[in-house]
Amino acid sequence: MILGALAAGWVALSFPQLPGIAMMPLIILAGVAGGLAWAMISAVLKTRFNTNEILVTLMLTYVAILLIDWTVRGPWRDPLSFGFPLTPMYPDSALIPRVELPAIGRLAQLHWGVFGAIIFALAGWFVLARTLIGFQVKVLGDAPRAGKFAGFSPSLVTLMVMGISGGAAGLAGMIEVSANIGQLQPDISFGYGFTAIIVAFLARLNPLAVIAAGLVVALAELGGDSAQIALAMPKVVTGIFKGVLLFMLLAGETFNRYHVTFKRPGILSRRRLNND
């Protein structure tokens, strides 16, 4: 997400004179390319050296955070920012507009990038449910040995899935900055990547359910902000709620797989004697 925002920001700040009809496709492609390239690091290490992709991506997250922090404090810092680590504002052609309806007007903070996320979720469901590629992903995820026996290539599927995931995250970073912030700063993610883990578990890895799960978690975030202001509650309450939610999901998944049964010792002893 951060690398997608950086790549899109480079295009927006390097070519501010471009019209919107050319700027928007370019920053979209740059965001996707930046996220895809960053994800390919862990994908190649996974396929070539069988490294743990979870550890590699977690460590690369800190590298990306330090990279954007250095960028906005150093070469891209706005001379008119009064020393604050901020880049110049994006040109208007690189900003995603808010949704406005003729009879209603502007719908608060809703922007057109939200519909891009919905379209991406629908496309992800179609690929996983209706195409051969989606079938390969499911088989290799559930039964890798069966997938290999069927002739599927785990390396190619891993590269493809990581590439699509990285490109989608890079697109999300581009949308977040272009729609809500308007310039690069040290903090552009606010932990969205880790929140997405809870959303994915809540949706049971179903792209269609991700839409509803994302709304649930978003409402929890907004509720936490409102509670912080109205009830003087600490912001960490929202994090506690998300942690409890994830714990309950994992516990429910565990009890679905492993059923706990209670038997009286006397009955077991009599059964053993009868068997003997």
Q: Which amino acid is at 143?
A: A
Q: How far apart (Å, rounded) are the C-alpha atoms in residues 33 and 10?
A: 12
pLDDT tens digits, 215-251: 988 888 888 778 778 877 777 777 787 788 888 888 8
Q: How far apart (Å, rounded) are the C-alpha atoms in residues 78 and 16?
A: 14
pLDDT tens digits, 10-61: 999 999 999 989 999 999 999 999 999 999 999 999 999 999 999 999 999 9
Q: Is 108 helix (H, G, I), strand (E, B) or coil?
A: strand
User: And the tokens for 54?
Assistant: 């979870």
Q: Return the pLDDT at 161.
A: 95
Locate tokens 């390239």: which residue? 37
Say if CB 238 and CB 223 are below 8 A apart.
yes
